[in-house]
Chains A and B, each alone.
Chain A
């Protein structure tokens, strides 16, 4: 059984919802990432999403774009990201880690080599933003071979009949993108999320995490009431970047981001049992 399935099963049994922080590997510095992963787990993260920096992150809003740019300036490559996962696994063999990025670095490494490298690093799931089901079969074949979950996005514009096409290729969990837009956009519509989660649950028994537009304990709590997990990225990355911009040391800025995740964990915990 995959780490993702084990974790989500355990959460369901305990009547809890997953908190899924997203950070960009190598931002704000290469040395900061692995310790930050451990601190996020200690603050209540159930699953970690590690962004693979890319020169042209087309689905990211300004906050995460800058995170990608800083990580690239720090010399972080896809291989470097996987090395961070290996380092994380030296101390934590239970928390699922998902790498999230764009197709080209994966294409460049090669689907087979990428799947093998993920498996040996201890990666549990892969999200490739610009590989919709129509383009994913080459990669999927190798992810299935090594037992890594391939996680797909479903969005507010996904037609109802397309949902079954997507979930038929998915494993681990489904990532519902709560807003039409880029990461960090506002105005998440809980009623719309509820409607789409209903459609997804009718087509699949996989857990559904919701991301894009969750920025604090209140929005996390609202979404956790109807989803299996909440993903928070821009808010964490912005907290660190703003802290550093305002003169905080890197350690102090990271403390603030960890405090934000602690708040979000508390907000999610207030939610009663699954619908």
Chain B
């Protein structure tokens, strides 16, 4: 076993300062520091509390519908003729994506803190829907910040959130996408910090968010590990997941980090192509910096201004990435690659037609790469792809791109 496959290494992060190597931390205005300390204290207590874990597991079982199946995509695997591809079906969760695993967990934290109001940022709208859903169930007031551009391209999810009783606030500052929604959510939180719980949707933000979101999402990898052993008698040879902020990827990867035989691939949004500069792939083509409370790889210019991003998928259209991914990249444990818009769209169609599984456009990036990877492997090997969300929300986007009126 090499140092980078020592499970103790992965249990040691984040450290007491919330750092993963040089990444992570708490880069926020003073007004939020005490709220973050309170959240960390509560979480460290509840993470080891059997009653809290039981409550979380029950909700995942009976409300979310876990465990999600591991499905062998036999037709596609035969077609490719390489490694067998299995899909971890997070699209079958309540609300249609992995996001709900985390919002269930954070809503329980909000309940324990006695907060009556929750806020969330959203890009594709999946986290907003998952937040609005848990808020409806617990009777909490819910405000979702969403970039104006995303409000346009994800109109179905906007309406879903409204039906669930949430207020959706279009954000018109900056680039009007996910990063600006997160800025605005932070501004709301700093203003209403006494009564408001901020449900961050990914493994980014200030400590302790990257840690607790990872922990809540790790149910994906724990289940996939058992399912792989039960179905194939061995661990997977490779894991593939898309990476925007990186919560579905960390959730799948984390329980396997100490397994030397398991290769891992995080697939970023290559947009028009990483070489064009019009993409959302900070791990592939960015540099370390500080944004939204943590140090991580960012897309930025030589003056430290955050660069505009482009991706066909709103959920990956973000210039940063969770700090644990930045660390996993630097220590060489996970390979980070990119799939561009066209590859993702082609995969969206191919998987819909060949497997009857319509992936979210975010997820389609992972599928596009998994096909290439499988082709280089052999039929005695197998890959698990995190099928992180379903594609219904993207139907209008796909139709518009192809000039079809629905």
Are A and B physically bound partners? yes
Residues of A within 8 A of B (CB): 54-62, 65, 69, 72, 77-79, 102-109, 129-132, 134-135, 152-159, 162, 166, 177, 180-182, 185
- Does B186 have its Cβ within 8 Å of any Cβ on chain A? yes
Q: Which residues of A contact B32 (CB under 8 A)?
A: 157
Q: Is the pair A108, B303 in contact by a Cβ cutoff of 8 Å?
A: yes
Distance from B99 Cβ to chain A, minimum over Cβ atoms (Å): 23
Q: Which residues of B contact A132 (CB under 8 A)?
A: 26-30, 33
**Contact A77/B303 with A154-B30, A157-B34, A162-B34 known, Cβ cut-off 8 Å:** yes
Which of B25, B186, B287, B303 is packed against the most chain A CB atoms within 10 Å?
B303
**Contact A108/B289 with A58-B186, A130-B29, A162-B34 known, Cβ cut-off 8 Å:** yes
**Contact A105/B179 with A58-B186, A135-B27 known, Cβ cut-off 8 Å:** no
Q: Is the pair A177, B30 in contact by a Cβ cutoff of 8 Å?
A: yes
**Contact A79/B303 with A56-B179, A108-B289 known, Cβ cut-off 8 Å:** yes
B35 nearest CB neighbor, chain A only: A157
**Contact A130/B293 with A59-B190, A108-B303, A162-B34 known, Cβ cut-off 8 Å:** yes
Q: Is the pair A104, B306 in contact by a Cβ cutoff of 8 Å?
A: yes
**Contact A56/B29 with A78-B303, A103-B290, A185-B191 known, Cβ cut-off 8 Å:** no
Q: Is the pair A108, B300 in contact by a Cβ cutoff of 8 Å?
A: yes
Q: Is the pair B29, A104 in contact by a Cβ cutoff of 8 Å?
A: no
**Can you list the 7 inter-chain pairs with the closest CB atoms, starting with the nearest?**
A108-B304, A105-B304, A77-B303, A155-B31, A181-B191, A103-B290, A55-B306
B185 nearest CB neighbor, chain A only: A58
Q: Is the pair A130, B306 in contact by a Cβ cutoff of 8 Å?
A: no
Q: Which residues of A contact B290 (CB under 8 A)?
A: 102-104, 107, 130
A134 and B190 alpha carbons, distance in the complex (Å)? 18
A106 and B26 alpha carbons, distance in the complex (Å)? 16
A93 and B151 alpha carbons, distance in the complex (Å)? 51
Q: Which residues of A contact B29 (CB under 8 A)?
A: 58-59, 129-130, 132, 153, 155, 177
Q: Is the pair A131, B27 in contact by a Cβ cutoff of 8 Å?
A: yes
Q: Which residues of B contact A107 (CB under 8 A)?
A: 288-290, 295, 304
Q: Is the pair B191, A182 in contact by a Cβ cutoff of 8 Å?
A: yes
Q: Which residues of B contact A152 (CB under 8 A)?
A: 30
Q: Is the pair B174, A156 in contact by a Cβ cutoff of 8 Å?
A: no
Within 8 A of A (CB), among B15-72: 17, 25-35
Number of residues on chain B facing chain A (CB within 8 A) = 39
Q: Which residues of B contact A55 (CB under 8 A)?
A: 174, 305-306
Within 8 A of A (CB), among B100-154: none
B175 nearest CB neighbor, chain A only: A55
Q: Is the pair B306, A162 in contact by a Cβ cutoff of 8 Å?
A: no
From A59, A154, A156, give the contact of B187 (CB < 8 A). A59
- Does B224 have its Cβ within 8 Å of any Cβ on chain A? no
A188 and B34 alpha carbons, distance in the complex (Å)? 20
A58 and B292 alpha carbons, distance in the complex (Å)? 8
A79 and B304 alpha carbons, distance in the complex (Å)? 11
Q: Is the pair B26, A135 in contact by a Cβ cutoff of 8 Å?
A: yes
Q: Is the pair B28, A180 in contact by a Cβ cutoff of 8 Å?
A: no
From B186, B193, B298, B304, give the contact of A106 (CB < 8 A). B304
Q: Which residues of A contact B303 (CB under 8 A)?
A: 77-79, 105, 108
From B28, B288, B302, give the contact of A130 (CB < 8 A). B28
Q: Is the pair A157, B304 in contact by a Cβ cutoff of 8 Å?
A: no
Q: Which residues of B contact A180 (CB under 8 A)?
A: 31, 190-194
- Does B173 have its Cβ within 8 Å of any Cβ on chain A? yes
Q: Is the pair B193, A157 in contact by a Cβ cutoff of 8 Å?
A: yes
A81 and B228 alpha carbons, distance in the complex (Å)? 57
As a 0/1 sequence over residues 183 to 206 of chain B, the CB contacts with chain A under 8 angstroms (1 = contact) are 100110011111000000000000
A271 and B180 alpha carbons, distance in the complex (Å)? 41
Distance from B42 Cβ to chain A, minimum over Cβ atoms (Å): 15
- Does B87 have its Cβ within 8 Å of any Cβ on chain A? no
Provide 15 A-B residue pairs closer than 8 Å at the C-beta atoms, listed in order of the A residue: A56-B180, A56-B291, A56-B292, A60-B187, A104-B300, A105-B305, A130-B29, A135-B25, A153-B30, A153-B31, A157-B34, A177-B29, A180-B192, A180-B194, A181-B191
Q: Is the pair A134, B25 in contact by a Cβ cutoff of 8 Å?
A: yes
Q: Which residues of A contact B304 (CB under 8 A)?
A: 54, 78, 104-109
Q: Is the pair B306, A56 in contact by a Cβ cutoff of 8 Å?
A: yes
A56 and B180 alpha carbons, distance in the complex (Å)? 7
Distance from A196 Cβ to chain B, minimum over Cβ atoms (Å): 12
**Contact A158/B30 with A105-B304, A105-B305, A181-B191 known, Cβ cut-off 8 Å:** yes
Q: Is the pair B34, A158 in contact by a Cβ cutoff of 8 Å?
A: yes
Within 8 A of A (CB), among B141-180: 173-174, 179-180
Which of B34, B187, B194 is packed against the most chain A CB atoms within 10 Å?
B187
**Contact A104/B289 with A132-B26, A157-B31 known, Cβ cut-off 8 Å:** yes
Which of A58, A102, A157 is packed against the most chain B CB atoms within 10 Å?
A58
A158 nearest CB neighbor, chain B only: B30
Q: Is the pair B305, A72 in contact by a Cβ cutoff of 8 Å?
A: yes
Q: Is the pair A56, B190 in contact by a Cβ cutoff of 8 Å?
A: no
A102 and B186 alpha carbons, distance in the complex (Å)? 14
From B33, B180, B183, give the contact of A158 (CB < 8 A). B33
Distance from A115 Cβ to chain B, minimum over Cβ atoms (Å): 15
Q: Which residues of A contact B174 (CB under 8 A)?
A: 55-56, 69
Q: Which residues of A contact B35 (CB under 8 A)?
A: 157
From B25, B34, B173, B306, give the contact of A65 (CB < 8 A). B173
6 more A-B residue pairs beyond the given contacts A59-B190, A72-B305, A135-B27, with a C-beta to C-beta distance below 8 A: A54-B305, A58-B28, A59-B29, A103-B290, A155-B29, A157-B32
Q: Which residues of A contact B293 (CB under 8 A)?
A: 130
Q: Which residues of A contact B288 (CB under 8 A)?
A: 107
As a 0/1 sequence over residues 278 to 319 of chain B, the CB contacts with chain A under 8 angstroms (1 = contact) are 000000000111111101001010111110000000000000
Distance from B289 Cβ to chain A, minimum over Cβ atoms (Å): 5
A185 nearest CB neighbor, chain B only: B191
Q: Which residues of A contact B295 (CB under 8 A)?
A: 107
A105 and B302 alpha carbons, distance in the complex (Å)? 9
**Contact A134/B17 with A58-B187, A108-B300 known, Cβ cut-off 8 Å:** yes
B206 nearest CB neighbor, chain A only: A130
A157 and B28 alpha carbons, distance in the complex (Å)? 13
A101 nearest CB neighbor, chain B only: B304
